[in-house]
Structure formats: structure tokens, C-alpha cells
Amino acid sequence: MIDIHEIYFITSNDHKVEEANRILSQFGICLRKSNIKKLEIQSNSLEKIVKYSALYAMKKLKSELIIEDSGLFIKKLNGFPGPFSSYVYKKLGCDGILKLMQNISDRRALFKCVVGYCSPNVKPILFCGICYGNISNEARGSYGFGFDPIFIPDNSNGRTFSELLPEEKDKFSHRGIAFRKFGLWYISNIAKP
């Protein structure tokens, strides 16, 4: 029988907790959502944001924890919205991004996820996942959240993240890549028998 390792996940996003737990279950890791306030610095670097947030949360929680931040980086918009994706989604939504992309033919973009692990004995360690793709011409699909309806990952046969079943998305999404890297590291370095 596999021991289940519970780790706090500092987030207010239930979708992220569900997605991460689907991915990490194969490693015997279960993330428990913590509602402590996450402090995010303003930066163009997801890595800096995650590292700072992890150290800040560690001072309050004093237990092993996970911090995650993701962003949609659109080539022709100079990487916008990037680290500000959550804020931009709340203000503009998918329709706002599609409007910005209206007459742009180069629709290359990438989703990037940075997962940070920290504990009282371990300074933040970061795990990165990147998924390349394109911005669609219209929002499609009913799965996922955030900008998933307008992002067509490479190798998805033209389907947006929102048109993929959650288990399909997990196989090659930015979050899937980052959390699998973390899971492999954790069972090799922290959860060793």
C-alpha cells in the first residue's frame, strides 16, 4: 500500500487543486488547499513570484507547501498577459484577448507553469512546465478554466484545452509537466522509504 503524503497547496483556485491532485495521485501525493493569504510580488518572472510567495507562506504555515503560478504568453503581444494572466482574465476574459488578436495572423503562444515546493528544511525548489500552441479564433469547449477555451496546444489535433478531457489535457499541459516533475523529485528526495 502506498503512503499518502499530504502537502499544503497555497491557492484559492479549486480548479488548480483538482488538476494538480489528478496528476500527483500517481505519486502518492495529495494536496490540501490552504486558505492562508498568498502574497504575490509584481514581476515579469513567474519564478521570482513563486519563490517569494513560497518563502512568505512558509513563515506563516511552517509546514511543507506548494505554490504555483501560471501564465499565457502570446508572442505577438510581447508575452502579454504573462504573469498577469489571472488579473487580465478577470478584467478582459477570453473575448478580450481574442479582440486584441483580431487582425494578427501569427497566433503562436505558450502556457508556462512554475511550481514551487518549500518546507521548514528545504528552501524553495522550482519546477517548470511549458506547453506551446496557438491562440484560436474563437472560444471553444466546456472543460478547463481561464484561457483554456482559446489555447490550442500543439499535438491536440486542433482542439483547445477546453475541448480536451481533463485526463487528456494533463498529459501535455504546462501544469501537467510541472507537477509531474515535482512528483518525481518528491518521491526520489523527500518521500524515500
pLDDT digit string, tens, across residues 73-82:
999 999 999 9
pLDDT of residue 30: 95
- Domains of the chain: total: 1
List residues with catalytic annotation: 69
SS3 track for 5-17: EEEEEECCCHHHH
pLDDT of residue 93: 96
pLDDT of residue 1: 43
Whole-prediction pTM? 0.93
* Rounded Cα distance, 31 and 48, in Å: 22
* Rounded Cα distance, 97 and 151, in Å: 11
pLDDT of residue 70: 96
CATH of the domain at 67: 3.90.950.10
The boundaries of the domain holding residue 138 are: 5-189
Question: Sign of the CA dihedral 151, 80, 170, 90?
Answer: negative
pLDDT tens track for 6-36: 999 999 889 999 999 999 999 999 999 998 8
Look at residues 6, 118, 130 and name the one whose alpha carbon lies nearest to residue 51.
118
pLDDT of residue 144: 85
pLDDT along the chain (193 residues), means of 10: 83 92 95 86 92 94 95 97 94 96 96 96 96 97 93 95 94 96 94 67
